[in-house]
Amino acid sequence: MDHKISLHDKSFRLYIPNAEIERAIDAVAEKLNRDYASSTDDNPAILICTLNGAVMFASELMKRLNFPLEFKACKLASYHGTHSTGVVTTELALPDGLEGRRVIVVEDIVDTGNTIVEIHSQLLAKGIKDARICTLLLKKDVYNKDIPLDYVALEIPNRFIVGFGLDYDQLGRNTKDIYVLDE
């Protein structure tokens, strides 16, 4: 196994091996299965995947969920290169038909929380019944918003990472492990 990868002009070293990621997803799925056991075919939960980064996490997570759910997607962006711009833009809007529904937002990573605040605001405007936030990764030293993160698979320090859906200028999403910038 190669413990380093190069993307564009940067080098990254192995940070979180896939086996650890899979165990963390198992634990989150167990909590979701317990919390959504009352979901029915007539009133399924809606899982909203934030594109593009959360695709791998959402895919692995859904394989482990045993309650009725619908799958939807949205796309918001705030990163350019290795830094957040601080401005969240909507590239693919939240779907219609969310009124009165229970929603699970699946994120790849939460750091500043600006994207979470924007999604939460948009969901409230659509009249949802309940929204829960589920993230693969949390940079808890950076996150200072009031919106609770209901399901966190892994907490990490404020470092730039790629892999398992996360990218550096669109490269690196397809690695099964997570790599950290090798500074």
Please, which residues have CB within 8 angstroms of residue 9's CB and are 6 or more apart in sequence?
none
Residues comprising the chain, all counted: 183
H/E stretch holding 82 reads: none
- Rounded to whole angstroms, the Cα distance separating 88 from 23 reads 31
> Which residues face 107 on adjacent strands?
135
The residue from 9, 42, 108, 111 that is catalytic is: 111
Query: What interhelical angle do 18-35 and 55-64 show, nearest 10?
Result: 60
**111 an active-site residue?**
yes
Q: Which of 104, 121, 101, 109 is nearest to 157 (CA)?
A: 109
The residues that are catalytic are 111
